[in-house]
Structure 1
Amino acid sequence: MRFIGFFCLWVLSAAAFGLAGNASAQEAAIGDSPAFQKIIRGQMNAFARGDAEQAFSFASRDLQNRFETPDFFMHMVRQGYQPVYRPRDVSFGAVKPGPQGPVQEVYVTGPDGNSWLALYSFEQQEDGSWKISGCYLTKSPSLSA
């Protein structure tokens, strides 16, 4: 297992500022699996097109502030997140409560054929929409998409 890029920053900042997920909001969000899947697919489609602006738009405000520009964000994803940047196959697992918000399990087969588990965390924005707040990626040879 490994922490990569923006998830590490997210976890560290969340711990530093003492952010805590609202249990009742998370419980309500568990039913939002189709919405989370649509967001993740939208971002993956933007990656496939090389559309940095669109890919960046799926990130939470906090994440956008950390990476500052769509190009910097895209560079980070290209360098450290090839399985979600250029997946061969994608399938979705359960939505579970996480320490900072709901987490969508995503099983991906990367461009090299290896299997991965990506845990996408979500944060509800001020307007009520959901945005990706982080991604924990771990190689998982026993999983297949």
Structure 2
Amino acid sequence: MKATIVYASMTGNNEDMAEILEEDLQDYGFDVENNDVSFADASDYLNSDLCIFVTYTYGEGKMTDEIADFYDQLKDLDLSGKYFAVMGSGDKTYGEHFCENVFDFEKLFKECGAEEITKPVTIENAPEDEDLDLIDQAAEEMNDKLNG
């Protein structure tokens, strides 16, 4: 199984999440490609069984330019027959906007025809021990559904 992880990270938190997930999936035997959104194209997902996007939400839900560009690229894809997962970090001080971009991408992946393989993983700021458990559980669920 091929998995493509694309992450957007301003502070390094989401890069950490993407690397943890990459290691987990490799341990399950996945062939994993992991790229920063600045060096990725949404069409990279067309060659994968599992499409994963890890993003942050800036302030009150605004997408930064590189995230918005990737979002616009993704809109044009037909991902029917693919699975997807979304993850990301945010700051709960923004209330209803906490991890809003994670859910924006969840909705878009569904509109592109992809099937959600696990519920979104959202964390506040940097991943801590309990957050690592959430990432590990998501990876296990991905493995069970695709390799089980």
Q: TM-score range by the shorter chain?
A: under 0.3
- TM-score where L is the length of structure 1: 0.26
- TM-score where L is the length of structure 2: 0.26
